Every structure is written in structure tokens, then in C-alpha cells.
Amino acid sequence: MFRNIARLMEKILSEMPPYDPKIIGFTIIGGLPEGAPYPDFAEDEEGESDVEVVEGDDCIYITAVTDVRADGAPYVTFQEDSVTLCTGGDEETVIDLDCEIDILHSFYNVQHGVIDAVCRKKSAPGEVARS
């Protein structure tokens, strides 16, 4: 299975434009053998963060791992210049942004233990927003 995924990724990357591609929120879930303990994806490996923030021209993309065993559903709250992530339970993470965002057009999705938030950047007065 992984060999096929590697070939697919090679094909996709070879057909991309010559500038550096970015991969945001990639998840493979193959299932667990019966009776195996649930893996703790929240553990930091070599100082890696559980939250990834990538800034594009029009949007800021935030990806985070949720705690599927915690009580309460994960959610995202958007503010003008920050985003609050709750990845499950009572713990919240505030991410300060370097620009203002359009709260009404920002959104998030929770799927397979991952939160993906898309924060639309606010257009400057007189500037035409790209879609």
C-alpha cells in the first residue's frame, strides 16, 4: 500500500509547477489491529508542534490534531487577529495572526481526528478580494 502511495506522490509532484509545493493536512488512516492500543498522535516528536500554520496570499491555513478520546467536540473560534482552537476537552490554544481576517468567510472542518481551518485575509480598502 505504501509503495503505491509513494508512486502516486512522485507522479503528483513531478506534474506540479517548478516552485516549492506545499502539502497541508495530509492524513493516512489504515486502521488498527483488533485489541491494539489507540496511538497518541498528540505526542511531540523531536519538538514538532501539534499545530501547523501556513500563510498563503489570500488565506491562512491552520491544521491541528484533535484528541478523539477527550470529552467535548473540537471547534475553532475566529477573532479579527487570532484563532482559538479547542482540539477536544477543556484545553484551548490561541494562535495570534500577523494580519486581520474576514471572520464571516473563514471556516473550519473536523474530519478523522484533524481540524483544518481556513482563515480568509481581510482585503485592504479599495483592494479587490481574490477568490
Mean pLDDT of the region 15-37: 63
HSE (side-chain half, CA atoms, 13 Å) at 26: 5
* Domains of the chain, start order: 49-120 (2.60.40.790)
Between CA 53 and CA 93 the distance in angstroms is 13
pLDDT tens per residue across span 98-118: 999 999 999 999 987 889 999
Query: Which pTM does this prediction carry?
Result: 0.62
Between CA 113 and CA 115 the distance in angstroms is 7
For residue 119, which of 128, 100, 111 has the smallest C-alpha distance?
A: 100
Mean pLDDT of the region 8-14: 79
Higher pLDDT, 82 or 50: 82
Using DSSP bridges, classify how beta strands 51-55 and 107-111 pair: parallel, antiparallel or unpaired. unpaired
CB count within 10 Å of CB 30 equals: 6
Higher pLDDT, 61 or 36: 61
